[in-house]
Amino acid sequence: LYFSAQEGILIFYHIKDLQYEMKICADISQPISSLIFSPDYTSLLLVTDQGTIYSYKPAHSGEAVKLLDTSSSCFLAADFLTPGNNYCVSVTIAGEVQVWSLEDGTFLSKLNLGIEVHV
């Protein structure tokens, strides 16, 4: 079970029977608004409401890597663009849908919906 604390800490709980073990996986120092697993569960996106997206690979147990920072706009949400784990799609409150490369955070494309978006 992965869990995020308000302080920007990604925590993993390994639960077996009535016992559990807690491990701090990453500290990104920004409140995490959502956690999204890739379709094959090899990557985890850590999304902040400030518009920063980090990648964490559970099998490698390394640090979270900053993929992109969309803080120039009012960021609302992000998710993997399937099939695969190579691209991410994000949306701003103003209705701008953006596509990013998850390899290096390169901005690839955008579409303006022309309406405000709400969750």
Residue in this structure with the two tokens 């955008």, named with its chain if needed: 110
Q: Look at residue 72 in the predicted model and tell me its pLDDT.
A: 57
pLDDT tens-digit profile of 39-98? 888 888 888 877 788 888 888 777 888 877 766 566 777 888 888 788 888 888 888 898
Q: Spell out the domain ranges in the chain.
A: 2-112
The structure's pTM equals 0.75
Taking the C-alpha atoms of residue 108 and residue 74, their distance in angstroms, rounded to an integer, is 19
Condensed to tens digits (0 to 9), the pLDDT of residues 4-41 reads 877 888 988 899 888 999 888 888 888 888 888 988 88
**Does domain 2-112 fall into CATH 3.30.70.20?**
no
